[in-house]
Amino acid sequence: MVSTPGAERAEPRKVTINDVARSAGVSRQTVSRALNDKDEIDGDTKQRVLDAARALGYRPSRFARGLVRQDTMTIGLVIPDLLNPFFTEVAAAALEAARTRGWHVVVYDTADRAEEERGTLQVISSQVDAVIGYFSCPESELEAFTRGMPVVLIGREGRSTRFSSIRIDGEEGVHAAVAHLVAKGHTRIGMLDHHTRAEPSIRHTWFTAAAASHGVDPGAVVGADQTADGGGSALKELLSAHPDVTAVFTFNDIIAIGALREARRTGRSVPQDLAVIGFDGLQLGALVEPPLTSVALDTRRLGALAIEQVARLLAEPPPLAITDLVVHAELRLSGSA
* β partners of residue 288: none
Q: What is the DSSP string of 251-307?
A: SSHHHHHHHHHHHHHTT--TTTT-EEEEEE--GGGGGSSSPPEEEE--HHHHHHHHH
Contact 223, 234 (CB under 8 A): yes
Q: pLDDT higher for 71 or 174?
A: 174
Say what the pLDDT of residue 13 is. 59
Provide the pLDDT confidence category of residue 316 given band limits of 50, 70 and 90. low
Q: Is the pLDDT of residue 190 over 70?
A: yes
Q: How far apart are CA 249 and CA 256, in angstroms?
A: 8
Say what the pLDDT of residue 63 is. 46
Q: Average model confidence (pLDDT) for the chain?
A: 86
pLDDT 10s digits, 11-56: 445 677 788 888 989 887 888 778 766 767 888 888 888 888 778 8
Q: How far apart are CA 296 and CA 168, in angstroms?
A: 11
